[in-house]
Amino acid sequence: MFENDLTILQMNDSHAYLDIHQELFWEGDHAKYELAGGYARIATIFNQIREENPKTLVFDCGDTIHGTYAAVKTKGEALIPILNYLNFDAMTAHWEFAYGPEHFKKLTKKLNYPMLAINCYHESNNELFFKPWIIKEIGELKIGIIGIAATIVDKVMPASFSKGIYFTLGNEELPYYINKLRNEEKVDLIVVVSHLGFPQEMKLAHEVEGIDVLLSAHTHNRLYKPVLVNNTILIQSGCHGSFVGMLNLNISRGKVVNFQHKLITVSEDIKPDPVVENMVNLILKPYKDELNQFVGYTDTGLNRNTVLESTMDNFLLKSLLSETDAQIAFSNGWRYGAPVPPGKITLNDLHNIIPTNPPVSTVELTGKEIWMMMEENLEHLFARDPYNQMGGYLKRCMGLNLYFKVENPHGQRIQELYIAGKKLYMDQTYRAAYVTSQGVPPIYGKKRDQLDVHAVETLLNYLSRNQPLNAELQGTVITI
């Protein structure tokens, strides 16, 4: 071992999953569900590794303070003491902006570590909204840490997320900051903490020289082995706080000469840290009785781990159609949401499915608008240039059948599109139900109507009439 050994720990996309929860693991030809995660067990991992090697840095790549009932109810406030106890060295962000940029900034001032972003700017004066970088000194090492927030916040997410600010990709700014840290600040190592997504970060590492370690997030990749690209070590560590990434670096004369990586599963058998466990219990106590209410059964394992269609969203879409007189239903292609194995469903499960609990809306769309909207969404997901990829999985749909060629260029992917079993007509009007502007963006449709019912209520209503729940994959969207 070399004298200057450094351990880097990564958490990304934990989505405020405070406590242990179900997680999906693939096994052969099927999914299996096991308990994993929770910040108390993550704290145990962090503390043990810090004890083994005091030369340890711990980073949070974002999607942390939004995604579960307690987090949304308190606008992220509930998580601050836990995150401070976990004692990260720096973070960047994505869904944190859901509370509005100004509120998020107030939250960051309560953290004992910095929020970093080289690509988030005030609209009024083009000044950076957060610090772009920091330097940490570990022994004789000087480590430059640069943050890149999710670029899609002002592009495909609700307008309130980016009020008064705008985002770039960060690829044009990054070389400047690397040069400044290398040549002016004389750092030995550059670590980039990013929330762009694995395809974008792969391209970024190809293009930009001088990144030693790139901590990736957003796309929920479980990288069991790091990717080495252009002398950059890139890792990403799943989602829901079910995994922690550990990277051990052997460094000599400012160069990484060897590295070892492990994707640690935050498994049920890890003993919870008692301090964090107590914090979590206190946070959840006011909501426990309500959220633990039994609301139904499911025969279908509900999850969002599939790209074109998911069982979890089939449940949501069936609920939207049942609640309205719509012919078709749309929701966003969210990735997050702890799975629900076959069996009992609680109210907490429903809030995990859609923690923002938005109102249900309807809109009239022409066939042409549906076609264009789906082509746009396919491009956001499968764009040949990773920098043009935006958002999560494919927009979730029900009441239609779409056949497409993934390899075709933008605007030419859809081959066949049917509504209720009949070919779509471009000039015909169809009534659609949806949730959030990501379900049906504002540029599409007429006669928008926001109903006096919210998403979780529609899920409850549907469950009350459909026991046990069946929400199996239907082949709504098929690659051909």
Q: How far apart are the first and last CA of the chain?
A: 52
At 358, the amino acid letter reads P
**Rounded Cα distance, 298 and 288, in Å:** 21
Q: State the number of CA atoms in the 13 A half-sphere of 380 facing the CB.
A: 22
pLDDT at 1: 41
Q: In whole angstroms, give the CA distance from residue 39 to residue 46.
A: 10
What would the pLDDT profile of 356-394 be if each residue is shown by its tens digit? 999 999 999 999 999 999 999 999 999 999 999 998 999
- Asked if residue 445 lies in contact with residue 385, where contact means CB atoms within 8 angstroms, the answer is no
Task: Please compute Rg for the chain using Cα positions.
Answer: 22
Q: Which among 251, 101, 209 is positioned nearest to 163, based on CA atoms?
A: 101
Closest CA to 62 of 15, 106, 20: 15
Q: Against a cut of 0.75, is the pTM above it?
A: yes
- Helix, strand or coil for residue 382? helix
Query: What is the dihedral sign for C-alpha 449, 452, 456, 462?
Result: negative
Residues in the chain with pLDDT < 50? 1-3
How confident is the model over 246-275, as pLDDT tens digits? Answer: 999 999 877 899 999 999 999 999 999 999
How far is the C-alpha of 79 from the C-alpha of 283, rounded, in Å? 8
What pLDDT is attached to residue 204?
98
Query: HSE of 430 in the Cβ direction (CA atoms, 13 Å)?
Result: 27
Helices vs strands, H then E, count in the chain: 12, 26
pLDDT at 252: 85
DSSP state, 267? B
